[in-house]
Amino acid sequence: MSVPALPSRDVMLTALSKVNDPEIRKPITELGMVKSVEIDDAGKVDLAIFLTVSGCPMKDTLTRDTSNALLALEGVTSV
């Protein structure tokens, strides 16, 4: 059984570009909200994003949407 290749940073950013800020309705990548995205050898992604406002009421929505976008990539095991 072969181990799936891990997605590159560019592939992860492309997946995240499909996630829109729920209030501004623009991609989080276009808004500069992605601070960092890294993946370890086990497929665990560490994602840090900037929120558009302190105490963002849509934080849970952004967390869910970004996690779903990354988990859809082959090789990603957790976010």
What does the pLDDT look like over 13-52, one tens digit per residue? 999 999 999 888 999 999 999 999 999 999 999 999 998 7
Q: Is the pLDDT of residue 57 over 60?
A: yes
Provide CB contacts within 8 A for 52, sequence distance 6+: 21, 23, 24, 31, 33
Query: Tell me, what DSSP letter sits at residue 73?
Result: S
Do residues 76 and 43 touch, judged by C-beta distance below 8 A?
yes
Do residues 20 and 28 touch, judged by C-beta distance below 8 A?
yes
pTM of the predicted model as reported, rounded to 2 decimal places:
0.90
Could you give the CA distance from residue 67 to residue 65 in angstroms, rounded to a whole number?
A: 5
The full set of domain ranges for the chain reads 9-71
DSSP string, 47-62: EEE--SSTT-TTHHHH
Q: Is the pLDDT of residue 73 over 70?
A: yes
